């Protein structure tokens, strides 16, 4: 059973371009969470999705950021018109169920660099 797969591992974008980060959850997991780790900081929750639904996006910036988790395929975190401050590591986690004892498994992250 493969773990949470994120791609690309490293992504370089020029200011103003779009960044697309992909996350394939573990087999059998239908709950996906995105976190952002800014340099020298801990991870910050961004968004929680289930298949075809955004459940909690309280940590998402109001503009330029969006996330989806379609019925088929990976979850996508999209950042439009990237700026230098978007440079960070973006981690995806998945879990099997939504209950108080569910463990989330993390991917290796996508390191976004905006130049």
Partner 1 sequence: AQSVTQPDIHITVSEGASLELRCNYSYGATPYLFWYVQSPGQGLQLLLKYFSGDTLVQGIKGFEAEFKRSQSSFNLRKPSVHWSDAAEYFCAVGAGNTGTASKLTFGTGTRLQVTL
Q: What are the residues binding partner 1 (CB under 8 A)?
A: 4, 6, 31, 33, 35, 40-45, 48, 56, 91, 93, 95, 98-109
Query: Least CB distance from residue 63 to partner 1, whole Å?
Result: 22
Quote the CA–CA distance of 80 and 16 in Å, as a whole number. 7
3-class SS of residue 54: strand
Pick 8 or 16: Cβ nearer partner 1: 8
**Could you give the dihedral angle defined by the CA atoms of residues 48, 49, 54 and 57, in that order, rounded to the nearest 10 degrees?**
20
Q: What angle do CA 51, 6, 8 make, to 5 degrees?
A: 125
Query: Least CB distance from residue 16 to partner 1, whole Å?
Result: 27
Pick 81 or 112: Cβ nearer partner 1: 112
Query: Least CB distance from residue 40 to partner 1, whole Å?
Result: 8
């Amino acid at each position: 059973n493969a773990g949470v797969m994120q791609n690309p591992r490293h992504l370089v974008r020029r200011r103003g371009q779009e960044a697309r980060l992909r996350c394939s959850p573990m087999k059998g997991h239908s709950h996906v969470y995105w976190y952002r780790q800014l340099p020298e900081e801990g991870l910050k929750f961004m968004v929680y999705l289930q298949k075809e639904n955004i459940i909690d996006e309280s940590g998402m910036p109001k503009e330029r950021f969006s996330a989806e988790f379609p019925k088929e395929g990976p979850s996508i975190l999209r950042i439009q018109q990237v700026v230098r401050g978007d440079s960070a590591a973006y981690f995806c986690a998945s879990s099997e169920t939504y209950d108080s004892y569910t463990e989330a498994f993390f991917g290796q992250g996508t390191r976004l660099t905006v130049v």
